[in-house]
Amino acid sequence: MIRLHNLHKSYPIGHDSLHVLKGLDLHIKEGEFVSIMGSSGSGKSTLLNIIGLLDTHDTGEYILNGQTIEHLNEKKAAVLRNKFLGFVFQSFNLINYKTALENVALPLYYKGIGRKERQVIAMEYLEKVGLKERASHLPSELSGGEKQRVAIARALATNPKVVLADEPTGALDTVTSHSVMELLRTINNEGMTVVVITHEEDIAEDTDRIVRLRDGVIISDEKVNKKAKA
């Protein structure tokens, strides 16, 4: 599903440049539940942004769903994002003047789906995350866990190939965190590829595979020991 080969990325800082990703090789297959770990500055957010087509890589190869990603203009990137990718952010990034239902329906609007159908699909996904009765509430009227559930529903609404979650539990307490992870697990069990970025060990252990980054290179890539988890 996602294949990275010798991926490099650097950011210009004044006259120098900061080399963030130094030749990553990574292959995430369809239906995997992967976490990418690393301390801040390890390059994990940059990696997620590149995978999420929110940012571009400098050199190397990135193949998403069999399609080589290069020379993307903003418009193409927007279409691909809408088609293949669902995002879950640490700070939820819900639009504060739209209701839960409208937030979930927004990516469908950009996909060009009609108004009535949008409502139906959005409601379906809200039901899936257990927030059907909160559909008409504004984000400010929802708890942190509920907001993240709305965000997950929104990420799923366009039926993407991959769900990318950037520190999805970063702003939540432990209990809520694990219920959110359980929700992601449920989604994964239904066949969705899920990539989670985190720096919390116990969150990473809720996934099937942990990729560890340090200073822009992968230092380990291993399956989670199911028995230890149980």
Nearer to another protein by Cβ, of 11 and 27: the residue is 11
Interaxial angle between packed helices 144-157 and 115-128, expressed in degrees from 0 to 180 and rounded to the nearest 10: 130
- Residue 89 is a binding residue for another protein (CB under 8 A): yes
- For the segment 40-69, give every residue that binds another protein (CB under 8 A): 49, 52, 54-55
- Residue 82 is a binding residue for another protein (CB under 8 A): yes
- HSE of 5, CA atoms in CB hemisphere, 13 A: 6
- Residue 11 is a binding residue for another protein (CB under 8 A): no
Smallest gap from residue 177 Cβ to another protein (A): 21
Q: Phi and psi of 73, rounded to 5°?
A: -90, 175
Nearer to another protein by Cβ, of 50 and 204: the residue is 50
- Residue 161 is a binding residue for another protein (CB under 8 A): no
Nearer to another protein by Cβ, of 49 and 176: the residue is 49
Smallest gap from residue 223 Cβ to another protein (A): 30
Nearer to another protein by Cβ, of 52 and 206: the residue is 52
Any idea what the Cα angle at residue 214 is, between residues 213 and 218, rounded to 5°? 45
User: Following CA atoms 119, 162, 179, 110 in sequence, which dihedral angle do they give, to the nearest 10 degrees?
Assistant: -20
Nearer to another protein by Cβ, of 50 and 192: the residue is 50
Smallest gap from residue 230 Cβ to another protein (A): 36
Nearest C-alpha neighbor of 89 from the set 179, 33, 168, 169: 168
User: Following CA atoms 17, 56, 151, 170 in sequence, which dihedral angle do they give, to the nearest 10 degrees?
Assistant: -30
Applying CB under 8 A, which part among 10-18, 33-41, 96-104, 190-198 lies near another protein? Answer: 96-104
Calculate the alpha carbon distances from 159 to 9, 42, 191 in Å.
29, 30, 11
Is the CB of residue 163 less than 8 Å from the CB of residue 156?
yes
Query: Residue 25, Cβ neighbours under 10 Å: how many?
Result: 14
- Residue 133 is a binding residue for another protein (CB under 8 A): no
Which positions touch another protein (CB under 8 A)? 49, 52, 54-55, 74-75, 78-79, 81-83, 87, 89, 93-95, 97-98, 102, 106-107, 109-111, 114-115, 154, 158
